[in-house]
């Protein structure tokens, strides 16, 4: 046997032995089971309105999509459910008791948006005209600023607190700006 099949002259010759054929690859039925499991996960996502990349199905996901889908999920999937829960709690807990009629149940969604630092900073930049610095800091879990200006919203003109004396009441009382033409020529 060694004489027939060894050496460079006998390279490539077919050796016939007794044995059975066995496939090295996986059977198609097994790959269908994997696809079926993946498909059932996607069906569950679609039933609950959850984007598939948020539970780890990253077939067609890129980082920008995942960031946007997380925001979409908080706004459009969880947000309406929270609104329904607030209404249910209000109707079942507060509506029956006249002593509690002045109360309002509102769930805080700011913690859900915490990972999006850019979105939060843009929101607070736009909110500074309707909310005080201390209100914004309280929402972010930061300590208060002990200054009277931090308890009032800021107005757009010169970014001063509302009610602050940032400009003189009488414009004629303000010192006039020096005119460069009125200056005497001084060579020194």
pLDDT value of position 143: 92
The verdict on residue 106 lying in a domain is yes
Per-residue pLDDT of 85-121, as tens digits, reads: 999 998 888 888 888 878 888 888 867 766 667 777 8
99 within a domain of the structure (yes/no): yes
Residues contacting residue 128 through CB under 8 Å, at least 6 positions apart:
136, 153, 154
**Total number of domains constituting the chain:** 3
Whether 150 shows a pLDDT value over 70: the answer reads yes
Domain limits for position 107:
74-111
- Is 170 within a domain? no
Q: Out of 10-14, 56-60, 120-124, 173-177, which region has the weakest mean confidence (pLDDT)?
A: 173-177
Question: 35-62 burial string, b = 16+ CB within 10 Å, else e?
Answer: eeeeeeeeeebeeeeebbbbeeeeeeee
* Phi, psi angle pair for 182, to nearest 5°: -80, -10
Q: Is residue 5 part of a domain?
A: no
125 and 107 part of one domain? no
Cα separation of 124 and 145, whole Å? 16
- Please indicate, yes or no, if residue 46 is contained in any of the structural domains: yes
For residue 170, pLDDT beyond 70: no
- The answer to whether residue 172 sits within a structural domain is no
Please state the rounded mean pLDDT for residues 121-127: 84
Instruction: Identify whether 145 is part of a domain.
Output: yes
């Amino acid at each position: 046997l060694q004489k027939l099949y060894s050496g460079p002259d006998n390279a490539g010759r077919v050796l016939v032995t007794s044995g059975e054929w066995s496939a090295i690859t996986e059977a198609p039925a097994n790959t269908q089971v994997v696809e079926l499991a993946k498909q059932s996960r996607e069906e569950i996502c679609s039933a609950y309105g959850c984007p598939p990349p948020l539970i780890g199905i990253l077939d067609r996901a890129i980082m920008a999509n995942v960031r946007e889908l997380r925001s979409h999920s908080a706004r459009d999937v969880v947000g309406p459910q929270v609104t329904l829960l607030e209404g249910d709690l209000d109707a079942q807990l507060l509506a029956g008791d006249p002593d509690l009629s002045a109360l309002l149940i509102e769930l805080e969604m700011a913690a859900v948006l915490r990972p999006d630092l850019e979105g939060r900073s843009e929101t607070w930049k736009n909110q500074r005209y309707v909310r005080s610095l201390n209100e914004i800091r309280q929402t972010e879990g930061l300590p208060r600023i002990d200054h009277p200006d931090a308890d009032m919203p800021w107005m757009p003109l010169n970014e001063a607190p509302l009610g602050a004396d940032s400009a003189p009441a009488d414009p004629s009382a303000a010192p006039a700006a020096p005119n460069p033409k009125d200056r005497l020529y001084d060579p020194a």
